[in-house]
Every structure is written in C-alpha cells, then in structure tokens.
Chains A and B, each alone.
Chain A
Amino acid sequence: MTNFLKISLLVLSIAFLKPNQANAQAAKYKCMIQMTNYMGEGAYIVISLIDAKGQYEKTLYVLGSDKKWYNSLKEWHKFNAKKPSNISAITGASLTGGDRGISIIDIEKSKINSGYKLRFESAVEDQKYNVKDLEIPLTTEALSAKTDGTGYIRYVRFSPN
C-alpha cells in the first residue's frame, strides 16, 4: 500500500515537475566532448554551472558512474558534499582516450549571457586532476563555437537539441 502511495506521489510530482521546468525556461543542449588520446583508465568528468563569483551553483552532468572515484574530482566533490543533489539522472559513462561522448544537458535560459560559466573538471585514476580542464563563459556565442580543453579533453561543442 505504501509503495502504491509512493509511486502515485512520484507520478504526480513528475507530472507537475515537467511544466514547472518548462516554466523555468530550461533549454536542452547536446554537449559533445572529444577526448585526447591519453593513456589510462576512463576519465571522470563533471560539468558544473559556475556563478559570477566563481562558485559552484549547480551540477549539470557527471560522466562516470562509480561514486568511489568522485573524491578524485576534488573541488566539485567538496561542493557536492556540502550541497548534495540527486545526480543519478544526469550521470553517464566515463570516457577514455580518443572517445567522443555526447550528453544532453539542461541549461536555464535565464543563466545564459548573465555572467555564468560552464566548467569541465576532469580526473583519471592515478593521473593528473584538472580543476579547469575547460571553462567557457555561458554565452550564446560560446555555445555555438568549439572550445579546446587543456587536460584530457581535446574540445567541446554544443548544439541546441
């Protein structure tokens, strides 16, 4: 019975959430990450929304599903520990050298062209950690260009979905 209640609540909340999100004017973007040909295990990458002060505001996507390795993404891990959010819906597989990965990320339209940034943070087991493998200003211009990474990421591209 309780299960039934929980499920119905969930269904209800989803039903209400959807229009809410739409009200918040979220836009879906396809984000493509092309990796360099580095050697080693799969890279864990997290895409975060950074506010004008340079603080983490929201986790947009996590590439890498084993929570055991999240602490290797040191800075983000601190933020995520302080303000844990449900990231299971925005988690994909880690990427290895030479891979291309495409993730769908939600970006609130109000955040675009308002001083926010997108940060790509990367770490590989037993190898270097890059707090800013790549950071781009969240502008319409940047979202239509190709941006090169500095660590394991060769470049990142976006396209509206």
Chain B
Amino acid sequence: MTNHFWRYSHLALAVSSFLFLLLASITGAILSAEPVLDRIKPYAAKNIDALNLAQAIPVLRQNYPGITKISVESNQFVLIEGTDKAGDAIKAYVEPTSGRIIGKPTKKNEFFQWVTSLHRSLFLHEIGRIFIGLTAFLLMLIAISGITLTIKRQRGIRRFLAKIPNDGSAQYYHTIVGRLSLVFILLIAVSGTYLSLNTLRIIKPVKTNVNVDFDKIKSGPQKNIKDFEVFKNISLSEVQTIEFPFSEDVEDYYTLTLKDREVAVNQVTGVVIAESKYPFSVLVSNLSMTIHTGRGSALWAVILGIASLSILFFIYSGFVITLKRISSRTKNKYKKEESTYILLVGSENGTTNRYASAVLKLLIKQGKKAYITSMNDYAVYPRAEHFLIFTSTYGIGEPPANANKFLSLVDEIQQINPIRYSVLGFGSKSYPDFCKFAFDVHNNLSAKSWATPLIDVHTVDDRSPADLTLWQESWSQQSGISFEDFAGTSKEKPKRLRTFSVESNTNFGDTFLIELQGRGKLKAKSGDLLAIYPANDHRERLYSIGVLNRKIQLSVKLHENGLGSGFLHSLNAADELKARVVKNNHFHFPVKASSVIMISNGTGIAPFLGMIDENNEKISCHLYCGFKNTQAFEPFKAFLNNKLAETKLAKLNVAYSREGDKQYVSDLVNIDSDLIAKKLIESSVIMICGSLSMQKDILQVLERICQEHTNHPLSFYQSRNQILTDCY
C-alpha cells in the first residue's frame, strides 16, 4: 500500500485523539510508579517458591485460628485476613514460615486511586470509558501505522533497527524513539483496548466458580492438613488466594485461586472436590491487566512508564513535523499558464519544499513569473522556458510520495516550448541510494526532444550549504538570475577573493590554456572550480580546474563576446586577477576506485589532465576525449602521450568530430560497451566533463549499456557515486 495512506492515517489518527492520548499517557506514566512503589514495600516474605501449602497453611492456622483468607500479592507479599486469638479482625502481611507479622496493609494511595479513575474514565463514568476505550483503539492503529511507516522508511522489516542518519530533525527523533518504543506502545494499546471492552461489557470474560456437588462430599477418612496431597503439590508462589472453609462443616471447603484455575478442596479428607479452569477470555483479561498495569513487575512498570512518556514526545515531535510540512506549502502568485519559470517539487518533508519556496520568492522578487507545484501535478505549461526541479529520494531510490507519477507524466505530456531544465537532488550520503530519483529525473528529461539541461544535475548532501551554493552559482550563471538577496541558505561569509598571477597563456586556435599561480598555499584540487568576476560585479563565471605542478590550469574555449573567456583570453603572463576556488567535492579524483573512466569533450579535459598527472597510485585510467579536429587536440597530445608512458594513463581514445571518421566521443564509448559494463560492475567510477549536449549523449549510451549488460538502471550507479559529472 502507498506510503501516503499510512502517513495520512497516522496523522489523522493522532490528530483526532491527541487530547485524550495526552491525558492517558500523562496519567499512565504516573500510574506506572505504583507497582514500583509497591515492590519496594518491606513486606516481602522469603522464598515463598520453596514453600508448599501443606507447610504454610498449618503454621498460619495455628497462629491465627480465625484465618479466613490468604492472598499472595505480586508473587511475594503474603496477606492474611481473619481474626486473631482475641477474636478481633486482623489483616496483615506475614512471614508464612513463622506466622510473624511483617506489616499492615496501608490504605490504597488516594492519589493513585484518583489518577486511576481519571485514566480509566476521565471521571465521566460510562461516557469517559467509551472515550478512553476508543483512544486505546486509536493508539493501537497509530502504533500499527507507525510500525509500517518505520518498516517502509527502513526498507524492510529486517532492517527495522538499522542505523538512521541523524539529521537532528524532529523527524529523526520521532523515528528513533518510535522504533524503540512502538512495540511496547502497541502492547499497551492492545491490552488497554481489551480491558476497555471488558469494562464496557462488550467482551464478557465470565469466571465460572467451582461447582461443588455437595451430595458427593465425604466426611472421611480424616487427614491432617500437612498430609493433603494437593497442598503438597502447590507452592505458595503459585497461589493468588486461598479461602478457608467458613465453618467446620464438611460442606465448607478450601477454595484455591491459582493463575489459571480454581480448586475446591475438602477440609476433612484433603480431596479435590471440584476444579474449574478459567476460560480463555479470563486468561486474556488477566494477561491484559498484567501487561497494562505492570502489576507484579517493577521492571515492566518502568518500561510502561517510559513508553507512556515517549507518547508525549511523539505528540510533540509529530506536531513539529506536521507544522513544518504545512508551513512549507506555498501559495502561487502567478498561474501556471502565464509562468515562465516552473518549479517542480518532490519532497517527503519540508526541507526541500522550503528551499524551493525560497527560490520561488527570489524569482518573483526579480520580476519573473514563476509557479511552484508538486511533481505529480506536472502539466503543460504554455509559457514555460525553465524547469527547476527540486526533489528528494525516498526508500530504495524511489520517488517521494508527491512525485511518484512524474516520470510517466513526463513521458505522456509534451511541452510546447523548448525547456531548459535543472535538477537539484536533496538527500544524504548515509543512504546507499543517494539522490537516485533526481538522477532518474535528469536522465529521463534529457531524453526528451523539448528538454535541454541548463546545467548539470546537482545534489545536496545533508543540506550542505556548499552544495546549495554550488547549484545557485551554476544556475545563476546560466540563467542570469542573481542569488544575491537569497534567503534560502544562511548568510554566507562575504566571498573572499584571492589574487592569482598568470604564468602563461597559450593559444591553440579557438582554445587556450591558461596557467595560474596563487599566492601562498594552493588549496585547489583537480575538479574544483575557479570563480572569476570579469566585470567586477555580481556576474560570476566558473571554470574547471586542473592542477598541474601545483599550478591551476584552465583550458578555455574562446566565445565571441564571451564575458569570461574574452576576459581570460586578454590576460598576459604576469598579469594578476582576483578569483576564488569553489570546492566541488563530488568531482574529485576517486582515489579509492579500482579504475576510472574519464570522458570529456573539448575543454572539459582540463580537470582530467590534473587528475592523471596526480595519479601516483597508477590507478587504471581510461580517457575518452572528443575534439573538433587534430589541431584542437594538439595542446594536450604531448602531455597525454607522456602520461601513457609513465602508465599514469592506461588507455587514450580520441574522437574527432570534423575529421577522419567524424566520430563523437559517445561513439567511442558505444564501441567499448562491454568494457564499460564490466567496469561498472567492478565498481569503477566514470567521470564526465564537458558540454551538456555531450553529457546527454553519453548518458543515453550509458543507460543502454546498463540496461543491456548490467542488472541495474544507470541511476543505480549514479546514486552510488559511480557516475560523476561536471558539465556546463
């Protein structure tokens, strides 16, 4: 069944009963102290397990001839009732071996009686009992739906107790506390429901008393109590009560109330004259009572108390979660028909939603017509130009509840206008299927003729501000939307720019290599990005960094009227520029991988040059790179041949799109399908850097390879960080 169903049942049940639950759990927690306090009363008799009735009864009878009843409470207190030698009424705890009085029972604590009454019936008698009974029943349903949700979240019952990543949210603690106490809460709820059914007389556990046939009672042979066989076989601890014969008349008998039956014993002959086993309903009723009240076990009572307190916590944290979810719902200012920016949100909780709403606000503030909706409400957007997709992943790489129909909807519904899209995945790397659904969405859209990625798919690990900033900067650069007054992430420190000096700037046709030397220690790694501000304003341009000989190397293609490339191209050796390094952790060389496949086109080769150069471990690296022609490859040729000789690079494959066979790099990858599939299965890492259109082709080839040669879709490997991309 869908997650939706369980989630909403869980919430609806909780909301409808929380006031009664609050009351019942507070009073329940208080009442759990009673068995504990009882337990520590100093009236316990010693070793009543070892004492049988044939030993205990004669002693007590001798000391108290007027004894009428023995009760054994909590398996350890022996209470006698009757009259003492002076004929006065007596009720006391005794030591059954000697008959010595240990203490007198105190009156039931009035406070506990008051709380018990509140707990059972809210002082409202029958009506209150019905309410409390319903509350217990609802609590049972809440516990069941909660257990189901936890199992779903943990992806299987066997992983019920598996680690949950701690994101410090109310939801995390709700789940953590939940799986520890849900079973106990379920027990409380089930037993409470049963007890309510009893007191409301819907289920009637009828105790049948022993049915003695007085005609068959014999008055001989007479035996001593200490020789009664039945008394010898029952230890005092098995007994709940012993009722003594009311008179010496042979028709009056001993009645033993045991845990599962009642026994009548002839007071003269010691013969069992009747026995009555309790019906099942009585046993269940007794068990429910024991479970629900914790009587007789201080430890269980403590557990019950903690479980009751945890219900209070659930009420609190449940409301926090719900309020967050509600508050992250946003109202649209513009209609979907008139909006150019469409924000599609797939989210199980408020974080993703809140971020998307902040982006919406930013767009609207800048005069853009933007519209936000759930991914499942995907439709035709006649004026749309941009899709911004914010999504988390649920369970085993599954879509969140409000996005589960998205992929099929995208297949069905074509957009009229060409759409530039960007996917931002929210998730946590502590889960194996990190942002899998985001990758699915990105791959799926990239196969559509009307959709082109504006920037590469981005992921956010545990709400990392750095990851968010990276997406903002990348998207901002391509869309021209400034994120300066953005409220979505906590205020960043003012960007500190560093001064770099140009070591060299070499032209090769329309591409050029520029080498930069930073002042002081270089903190960049190959794969990081260099942000430059060509016009000294908010406009930022990002370039992939290759680190060679501790210098930053950028390879840049000169665009006509290109703001960034024009600026970089104009630099000469010894010139200085202000820039900063943007950490791009997801695109660093995977030092732990068994082997690495690098795929690039054009200047996308830049980070790979640095990585290959640093590959001192000589991890097997295959490079597939595409260029327009041999001339464009010229700047890298000597360097790469050198690395082949040093075995830092295992294999080099070059495709020329305008010369010879006119191949694209995706064609080369296609040819090596078998090798690629084998590498993926062996947990190798594929890194892709270059243009987004190249990435689109490569992803399609890889998707086909995965479908045909491995048992998983491409997104399986993407979510396991085996496919790393940095495209623009």
Contact for A161 among B87, B201, B207, B208, CB less than 8 A: B87
Interface status of B318 (Cβ within 8 A of chain A): no
Separation of A100 and B69 alpha carbons in the complex (Å) = 9
Q: Which residues of B contact A157 (CB under 8 A)?
A: 246
Separation of A103 and B82 alpha carbons in the complex (Å) = 8
A69 to chain B, nearest CB (A): 10
Contact for A98 among B81, B87, B199, B207, CB less than 8 A: B207
Interface residues on A, range: 20 to 34
B interface size (C-beta, 8 A)? 26
Once the chains bind, are B247 and A159 in contact (CB under 8 Å)? yes
Interface status of A137 (Cβ within 8 A of chain B): no
Contact for A97 among B82, B207, B247, CB less than 8 A: B207
Contact for B108 among A41, A65, A98, CB less than 8 A: A65
Separation of A103 and B108 alpha carbons in the complex (Å) = 19
Separation of A125 and B121 alpha carbons in the complex (Å) = 11
Once the chains bind, are A102 and B209 in contact (CB under 8 Å)? no
Separation of A32 and B206 alpha carbons in the complex (Å) = 22
Interface status of B269 (Cβ within 8 A of chain A): no
Once the chains bind, are A98 and B209 in contact (CB under 8 Å)? yes
Once the chains bind, are B246 and A125 in contact (CB under 8 Å)? no
Q: Which residues of B contact A41 (CB under 8 A)?
A: 199
Separation of A55 and B402 alpha carbons in the complex (Å) = 76
Once the chains bind, are A39 and B204 in contact (CB under 8 Å)? yes
Contact for A104 among B83, B204, B209, B255, CB less than 8 A: B83
Interface status of A126 (Cβ within 8 A of chain B): yes
Interface status of B125 (Cβ within 8 A of chain A): yes
A16 to chain B, nearest CB (A): 18
Interface residues of B in 87-137 (CB under 8 A from A): 87-89, 107-108, 113, 125-126
Separation of A104 and B69 alpha carbons in the complex (Å) = 13
Interface status of A37 (Cβ within 8 A of chain B): yes
Interface status of B518 (Cβ within 8 A of chain A): no
Q: Which residues of A contact B255 (CB under 8 A)?
A: 100
Q: Which residues of B contact A66 (CB under 8 A)?
A: 113
Once the chains bind, are B113 and A37 in contact (CB under 8 Å)? no
Q: A39-B201, A40-B201 are in contact. Are A102 and B207 (CB under 8 A)?
A: no
Smallest CB gap from A66: residue in B: B113
Interface residues of B in 579-627 (CB under 8 A from A): none
Interface status of A30 (Cβ within 8 A of chain B): yes
Smallest CB gap from B204: residue in A: A39
Interface status of A28 (Cβ within 8 A of chain B): yes
Q: Which residues of B contact A126 (CB under 8 A)?
A: 125-126
Q: Mark B175-209, 1 if CB is under 8 A from A, else 0.
A: 00000000000000000000000110100101111
Given contacts A32-B246, A102-B68, A102-B82, 16 further A-B contacts (CB under 8 A): A30-B66, A30-B68, A30-B83, A37-B206, A37-B207, A39-B198, A39-B204, A40-B199, A40-B201, A98-B209, A100-B243, A102-B246, A103-B89, A159-B246, A159-B247, A161-B87
Interface of B with A (CB < 8 Å)?
A: 66, 68-69, 81-83, 87-89, 107-108, 113, 125-126, 198-199, 201, 204, 206-209, 243, 246-247, 255
A-B contact pairs, 25 of them (CB 8 A): A28-B83, A28-B87, A30-B246, A32-B246, A37-B207, A37-B208, A37-B209, A39-B206, A40-B201, A65-B107, A65-B108, A66-B113, A97-B207, A100-B69, A100-B255, A102-B68, A103-B89, A104-B87, A104-B89, A125-B125, A126-B125, A126-B126, A159-B246, A159-B247, A161-B66
Interface of A with B (CB < 8 Å)?
A: 28, 30, 32, 37, 39-41, 65-66, 97-98, 100, 102-104, 125-126, 157, 159, 161
